Amino acid sequence: MAVAALPATAAPLRIATYSPDLSRDGPGLLLRDLGREDAQIAAVVAVLAETRPDILLLTDFDWDFDGKALDAFAARLAQAGLDYPHRFAARPNSGTATGLDLDADGRLGTADDAQGFGEFTGQGGMAILSRHPIGPVTDYTDALWRDLPGNLMPALPEEVRAVRRLSSTGHWDAVVTVAGRPLHLLAMSATPPVFDGPEDLNGRRNHDELAFWLGHLPDAPFVLAGNLNLDPQDSEGRPQALAQVMAHVTDPLPRSAGGAAAKGGVNDSQKGDPGLDTGDWPDDKPPGNLRVDYVLPAKGLKITDSGVFWPAEGPLAKAALTASAHRLVWVELDWP
């Protein structure tokens, strides 16, 4: 669906986060797929053409050193009428080798031995696309887990503690200048709080990845966005850090008709409001559908609207399903 780009100073300002499953099994494969007919990529483009964010954070998007995949994706969006002249991506921790046997399985160089789970450098990274200038960007991705005050890091060998980074993907504070005013986009993509053992390493890391922001909230307008991989009511994770962050932001409780209608199986025993869900997983086994993607404006910012792009029926419902298990979340601000 082609849409016309709005003037650069148009209000309201729509900010979105989306985990579009634009990650592949090897380096260069996303770029390859972006250059040919691909139903899943076409569905992602259709979702974005319909929602038209002004500032967009992508999670689960493969990073490459020259930014070729991001440029190719931006070109696909431009063909659909969405022009994002300003873009940012940096090397994520996912797939970044440590040279250590982090999971103590006796093998080196596996996906579990990287700073964040990944088969190759850059797998499942992040990217920002914007109609407004981006910069400066403060990149906290190399911050060590052990340096976080009050961290929940489990007991690990000293050589692991000395190199293990907090971010499974990344933490960015990206300043976006809109109509002459700076807005801080606090971007992150956390590890899921599962796929570990009784030490709960991933659950602890997921908690601390969000707790990091409690010591790094800017004294300026900001929006915290990304895949937090944590449902406040139905997740296996630790919700304490999310509750603390909520004291500094306004949760607009974005909803969708499709999420509300997605019932059956394990979903029927969940506590949370299904209309708030952003992840659509199989209903016959846990976790079912969850709220894991968030756009959270700082208190004091005026929110005019919000939503989760999850139509209950029709061609766009099929596009959302084909694109990803995640649904795009958007919030509109009255700006400036």
Q: Which strands make up the sheet holding 293-297, listed edge to edge?
A: 134-139, 171-178, 181-189, 222-227, 293-297
- For residue 7, the model assigns a pLDDT of 43
Q: pLDDT for 218-265, tens place per residue?
A: 999 999 999 999 999 998 899 999 999 999 999 999 999 999 999 889
- For residue 195, the model assigns a pLDDT of 83
- For residue 9, the model assigns a pLDDT of 45
Q: pLDDT for 74-83, tens place per residue?
A: 999 999 999 9
Q: pLDDT for 165-219, tens place per residue?
A: 999 999 999 999 999 999 999 999 999 998 888 889 999 999 999 999 999 999 9
- For residue 6, the model assigns a pLDDT of 42
- For residue 5, the model assigns a pLDDT of 43
Cα 334 to Cα 305: distance, rounded to the nearest angstrom: 9
Cα 102 to Cα 112: distance, rounded to the nearest angstrom: 7
- For residue 245, the model assigns a pLDDT of 97
- For residue 336, the model assigns a pLDDT of 82
What 278-285 contacts at long range (C-beta under 8 Å, 24+ apart), as own/partner pairs, is 278/308, 278/310, 278/326, 278/327, 278/329, 279/325, 279/326, 279/327, 280/310, 280/321, 280/325, 280/326, 280/327, 281/325
